[in-house]
Chain A
């Protein structure tokens, strides 16, 4: 589904990703771990299409297409979703309308009719239950005045509504208490099918107790330096990242 080869990325002439390669297939969950400042969020942003970075070399192929040539909205319409580490506040735009607009834009791209109001609201009710968010929240402006936990749950809620093929969750677990963490995990697990894939970026092994990854990658100084199964996460938790330097 996603194939990244020898990707080098810089910002303001500072190299962040230094030859990163990653293969993700449908049905898989990949966890990416690593210390601060090693390029985890940059990787997430590059896949979603943030244009503040320079791609110096390498390639990113998604479903056989050159992802780097696609506009962010086209990537979204083609099934990519980024759960933001810091979700942006958009005063004056209600979650309900934001999502309905997004959903219809995506449907238009795929040649589908707009979703009817009835279907949309039914779907919203279902997904709200899944991530346990209050009814009132969806009438409020996107992320405006939300607590940290509400913002992250709102990301998972949007993911549940949009049903992406490839979802990247950028430190969705940071700042969450254990209950919220479980809700996030429940969201991911219930959406998991053999046709979609997840890339879960996290600092802590804790999240991986609830979302069981097929692969754990360690990103260190702009490269994936180690790949293993879920037991690698335990090893990292125990030994810390210092262990990798040797």
Chain B
């Protein structure tokens, strides 16, 4: 499909549609939420879509992504056929509680909101506004504000549904919860999803969060997720992205950590036309730990932009950031890592690293690790590397009888494994391992169904060479 309109035309169209469909948008709202939405909409009217004149967006051009004549999804898809096959996740031995999102709407059978045996509440965000107005009122938009940019403001203004998860105090949720966010355009579609995840004191949750596209039409997914991690709570968040080459994902996640809480966030981006991940972490209590990892494998003319902002507000917190990427053909990438250590945040320990391999002369990465420190007793480091595969290592491997292409794969896989090895769910790690291998061999484009349908259960991915023992046990 050819691009039809310019992005300011799209902006006017969206504003117009938002006003026309106001009753639907605020249908579940409390008055407070409607007020927040109105403020956010005026922010979007002011800011419009981010463009390259804004420093944080200097290296990511949205013009092409915004040039389609998108429609908005103010109503859930009415009739869904094959729903089970669309969302079926066939990772062997991965037992999760599945929460599907289709075009930004939670797809459910039976109740829109479920209370699990342990008291955890999961389901539709829209219904949660109505059923739990007090919880929503306490958290909605409290970490994101109206949004740091026009896209986030737009989401706050018009996103109707998404996933709501509430883990009560002291509850350790046994099996992982999996959000599968699928865009299935009938025509070009611009999707807003709004997720709110709340972990009470001393609770524990493992989350798998997949972004996928169902067919090859252009889609634009603009998701905002707010995550509150209460005192001494632990969140293990695994994010997977594998969308078609004409689709765009803008994924903004706000983590708000209370004292002694722990966050492990793993973002694996395997495929996508344009991906922008905004990850904001506020360490708003002492003794927090946060570990943010990213792996991106891009080729063709794909673009990936990881923006991370870690705000050390309170003393004695540790943060670690490791992003690794392999860019092939004409792929482009951006890494913007900002660590902000406030005056009171003494004894902060912050490390950030970005490492890249460029396989061609036409692949490109702009990397900017950035420290902003106002406290005087801190330990912070940052570093970025951009390079090619190590030719001496390649020769060493080949001199043992391994052919050139496999030697390259071995080195690339070993490079990626440092991030993959942090995935704590064994079944998921094995599958992502497979997907990365496939991706590196150029076999994985976009999956036709769920993000994890990279290979069938009966036929695990085989490398020409056996890499099963590659993981090291130091």
Contacts and interface: CB of A to CB of B under 8 A. Distances in A.
A106 interface: yes
B401 A94 contact: no
A91 B399 contact: no
A97 B463 CA distance: 13
A77 B401 contact: yes
Interface in A93-127: 93-94, 96-106, 109, 114
Given A71-B404, A105-B402, A100 B469 contact: yes
B349 to A, nearest CB: 23
Nearest to A78: B401
Given A73-B403, A97-B470, A88 B410 contact: no
A71 B390 CA distance: 18
A192 interface: no
Contacts of B385: none
Interface string B382-408: 000000001011011111111110110
Contact of A92 (B397, B417, B468): B417
Nearest to A102: B400
Contact of A93 (B399, B401, B410, B474): B410
Interface string A168-191: 000000000000000000000000
A49 interface: yes
Contacts of B77: none
B440 to A, nearest CB: 13
B472 A48 contact: no
Contacts of B458: none
Given A90-B393, A139-B473, A98 B400 contact: yes
Contacts of A97: 466-470
A134 B333 CA distance: 42
A228 to B, nearest CB: 30
B472 A76 contact: no
B465 interface: yes
A101 B399 contact: no
B411 interface: yes
Interface in B271-306: none
A158 B397 CA distance: 12
Contacts of A99: 400
Given A88-B392, A88-B396, A92-B417, A109 B401 contact: yes
Contacts of A71: 398, 403-404
Contacts of B390: 88
B94 interface: no
B51 interface: no
A77 to B, nearest CB: 5
A87 interface: yes
A75 to B, nearest CB: 8
Contact of A50 (B395, B403, B415): B395
A39 interface: no
Contacts of A48: 399
Contacts of B469: 94, 96-97, 100
Interface in A49-94: 49-51, 71-73, 75-77, 81-82, 84, 87-94
Interface of B: 390, 392-393, 395-404, 406-407, 410-411, 413-415, 417-418, 465-474
18 contacts: A72-B398, A73-B404, A75-B399, A76-B399, A81-B400, A88-B392, A88-B396, A90-B393, A92-B415, A93-B470, A94-B469, A94-B471, A94-B473, A101-B466, A109-B401, A114-B466, A140-B473, A140-B474
Given A49-B395, A105-B465, 9 more contacts: A48-B399, A49-B399, A71-B403, A81-B399, A92-B413, A94-B473, A102-B401, A141-B472, A158-B400
Interface of A: 48-51, 71-73, 75-77, 81-82, 84, 87-94, 96-106, 109, 114, 139-141, 158, 162
